[in-house]
């Protein structure tokens, strides 16, 4: 009977002895995953008043080609800004979350692409609010810039928008001609430091233009940035309209001979 009690006592000690060992194993395991937000933050913020920057912007998504576009942008380490329609966000919440996770910016393009100059005050507020809520629910962020559908705007309407309004100075007309090479050529002819390039991620031909477009811009010496990065060192006021950044920066084409020697 005495040996049985001693055996019970030893069995009772086993969990107590194992707990510190298990705790040690847990603490010596792999480090916790890095915060996704910190992983996407640039090491150094670009000053686009001093560096030749260009912002690529994509309207009307997310759609069936947006995931493939994100793949291309990731391969080229190229950030972009997506002006999403609120009605589309609910159908592609994971895509919007991916945009944020990979360092892109999500802007508002209204809820269902209505011309704000035809809406009442209440209608404009709904277009903004409903899109903000959709983006917040999908990705936990709130759009900080608004692109009015069709570029339509006016002082009486703009003051109802709680963020800056952004148009563009390079219209690729990708939605009209559906020609990837023409999209690249138009951009090459019209781009300058501080440009905002208008594209649409709902067309496959626009997606097809992006690899050459990005390569061309980078070869010409441009740094690709999000809209907020483009205007980070400049005035960018709620209710005001912008189409590009006024900057004295100059693009310096990359030395192709140096690349050939790599």
Give 250's contacts (C-beta < 8 A, 6+ positions apart).
Answer: 52, 193
Report the distance separating Cα 16 and Cα 261, nearest Å. 64
- Which residue in 59, 60, 132, 201 is the catalytic one? 59
CA distance 149 to 160: 15
Determine whether 112 is an active site residue: no
Q: Residue 82 in 3-state DSSP?
A: strand
**Collapsing DSSP states into helix, strand and coil, what is residue 243?**
coil
Q: Which of 158, 128, 155, 156 is nearest to 143 (CA)?
A: 128
Bond prior to 62 in cis (omega within 30° of 0): yes
Select which of 132, 200, 201, 203 is catalytic: 200
User: At 146, is the secondary structure helix, strand, or coil?
Assistant: strand
Residues 6+ apart with CB under 8 A from 143: 84, 106, 107, 108, 131, 132, 135, 163
Active-site residue flag, 59 = yes
Distance CA 124, CA 127 (A): 5
β pairing state of 241-242 and 165-166:
parallel
State the catalytic residues: 59, 200
């Amino acid at each position: 009977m005495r040996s049985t009690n001693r055996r019970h006592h030893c069995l009772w000690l086993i969990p107590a002895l194992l707990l510190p060992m298990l705790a040690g194993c847990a603490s010596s395991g792999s480090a916790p995953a890095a915060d996704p937000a910190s992983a996407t933050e640039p090491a150094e913020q670009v000053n686009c008043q001093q560096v030749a920057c260009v912002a690529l912007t994509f309207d009307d998504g997310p759609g069936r080609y947006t995931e493939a576009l994100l793949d291309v942008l990731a391969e080229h380490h190229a950030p972009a800004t997506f002006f999403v329609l609120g009605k589309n966000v609910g159908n592609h919440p994971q895509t919007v979350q991916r945009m944020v996770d990979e360092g892109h910016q999500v802007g508002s393009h209204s809820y269902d692409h209505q011309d704000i100059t035809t809406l009442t005050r209440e209608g404009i507020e709904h277009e903004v609010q409903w899109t903000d809520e959709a983006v917040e629910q999908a990705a936990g962020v709130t759009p900080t810039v608004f692109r009015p559908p069709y570029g339509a705007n006016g002082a009486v309407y703009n003051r109802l928008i709680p963020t800056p309004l952004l148009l563009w100075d390079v219209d690729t007309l990708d939605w009209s001609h559906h020609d990837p090479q023409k999209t690249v050529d138009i951009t090459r002819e019209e781009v300058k430091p501080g440009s905002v390039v208008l594209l649409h991620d709902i067309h496959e031909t626009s997606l097809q233009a992006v690899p050459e477009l990005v390569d061309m811009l980078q070869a010409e010496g441009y740094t690709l940035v999000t809209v907020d990065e483009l205007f980070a060192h400049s005035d960018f006021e709620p209710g005001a309209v912008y189409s590009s950044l006024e900057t004295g920066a100059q693009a310096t084409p990359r030395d192709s001979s140096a690349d050939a020697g790599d």
